[in-house]
A and B are shown apart, each in its own frame.
Chain A
Amino acid sequence: MAFQAIAVLVVSAGVALFFNVAREDRLPLVMPFPPEYRCSSPAGTASPINTSSALAAFGKRGTILVDARSNEEFEKGHIETAVHMPYLFVEPLTAEAIALLLKHERVIVYCNTEGAEVSRLMAGELSHSGVKDARYLEGGFFKWAEAGGKYTGQKPEGYVDLK
């Protein structure tokens, strides 16, 4: 029986891959990031904030900056006073993280990709979770440092390519 089940699995995979290659609208085997271009609803919508507005809001009461990048990137350098909450699409934000952010009037999430893909997803999720003014930083950490924003550690050399 196990052999038969494995045979069905193998044949199905073979037929599926063959038909995928044969069709005009074939899918690439590895899904590109960000996945949001096809995701329907789990995230709410979030508005962007440009670097100059973010610089003006920096240090004001009720505003918090959130670094959505990986541990490694955060340790290299980050915006001063930013809270680190690495964002992984498959793992939802924890209740503790959301509770902390709900205490603030404005949450500015940043990452370091050219299209701010990661921070846009995270800000959308925060907005969906009830954070009133969740924004994502246009231009990310790179533009912030270029514009003279305060940061600790290394200055970013450019954008990170997610692909």
Chain B
Amino acid sequence: MSRALAVIKRVVSWPPLVSCLRVALGMVFIAASLSKIQDPEGFAGNIANYRMVPFPFVHVMAIILPWLEIIAGSLLVLGIWIRANAALTVGLLLAFVFAISQALYRDLDISCGCFDSTPSAHKMTRWTLYWDLIWIGWAILVFSYDRGVHSIPSLVSRKFARRSDNETP
């Protein structure tokens, strides 16, 4: 059992794989933010539909959340501040899981607003929740194992190191 766990751990911490997971996670967040940035009013409607946030705060959330998603997602794709951004995505996903769970529990017949800010977009189901839980696991893997081997900062630092090696007489 422990051997199997060790193998799994070695596979998921393999730098090329964990880098791909990080880039995919970042791209999901970027994709999720685009329609919300284009249509903040529609996204505000989605947030209001959850009936969780007191209405005076709905607009502030609708304005800031998509930009947080796109900036954290872009930084993840580039490999900058990986652990901080992975932690932020875990936090965001936990908030989404809570929002979706309470909406399902209260039997609110609403659209999740995850990728499409149109309130009449596809309705939320339990699968919406399962997908978010999968993304949380995904983000935790990135947080735990990605050491930035395949990232822009490491590429730049390697290039500089090579150049300084060449310049050394």
A and B are interacting partners: yes
Residue ranges of A at the interface with B (Cβ–Cβ < 8 Å): 1-2, 4-5, 8-9, 11-13, 15-17, 19-20, 25, 27-31, 33, 35, 38-42, 89-92
Binds A, one of B20-28, B44-52, B129-137: B44-52
Told that A8-B72, A20-B40, A25-B41 touch, could you supply 12 new A-B pairs with CB distance under 8 A?
A: A1-B84, A5-B87, A9-B88, A15-B71, A27-B41, A27-B59, A27-B62, A29-B60, A31-B48, A38-B48, A40-B120, A41-B49
Cα distance, A109 to B72, chains bound together (Å): 46
Measured CA separation A92–B84 after assembly (Å): 36
* Contact call B44/A42, Cβ cutoff below 8 A: no
Task: Please name 21 pairs of A and B residues whose Cβ atoms are closer than 8 Å in the assembled complex, sorted by A.
Answer: A1-B81, A2-B84, A5-B87, A5-B88, A9-B88, A12-B67, A15-B67, A16-B66, A19-B37, A20-B63, A27-B40, A27-B41, A38-B48, A38-B119, A39-B49, A40-B119, A40-B120, A41-B49, A42-B109, A89-B51, A92-B51
Q: Which residues of B contact A (CB under 8 A)?
A: 37, 40-41, 44-45, 48-49, 51-60, 62-64, 66-68, 71-72, 75, 81, 83-85, 87-88, 106, 108-111, 119-120
Chain A: which residue is nearest B91 at the CB level? A5
- In whole Å, how far is B121's beta carbon from the nearest beta carbon of chain A? 9
Among A2, A8, A27, contact of B75 (Cβ-Cβ < 8 Å): A8
Give the A-B contact count at a CB cut-off of 8 A: 106
**Contact in complex: A41, B119 (CB < 8 Å):** yes
Residues of A within 8 A of B49 (CB): 39-42
Given contacts A41-B119, A42-B110, A89-B51, whether A17 and B88 have CB atoms under 8 Å apart is: no
- The 8 Å CB contact of A8, one of B53, B62, B81, is B81
What residues of chain B lie closer than 8 Å to A89, measured between beta carbons? 51, 55
Residues of A within 8 A of B58 (CB): 31, 35
Residues on the B chain within 8 Å of A39, using CB: 45, 48-49, 119
A2 to B51, CA, bound (A): 30
Contact with A13, one of B64, B72, B75, B83 (Cβ below 8 angstroms): B64
Q: Which of B37, B45, B64, B67 contacts A38, CB < 8 Å?
A: B45
Q: How far is the CB of A120 from chain B (nearest CB, A)?
A: 15
| Measured CA separation A11–B44 after assembly (Å) | 21
B59 CB contact (under 8 Å) in A4, A30, A41: A30
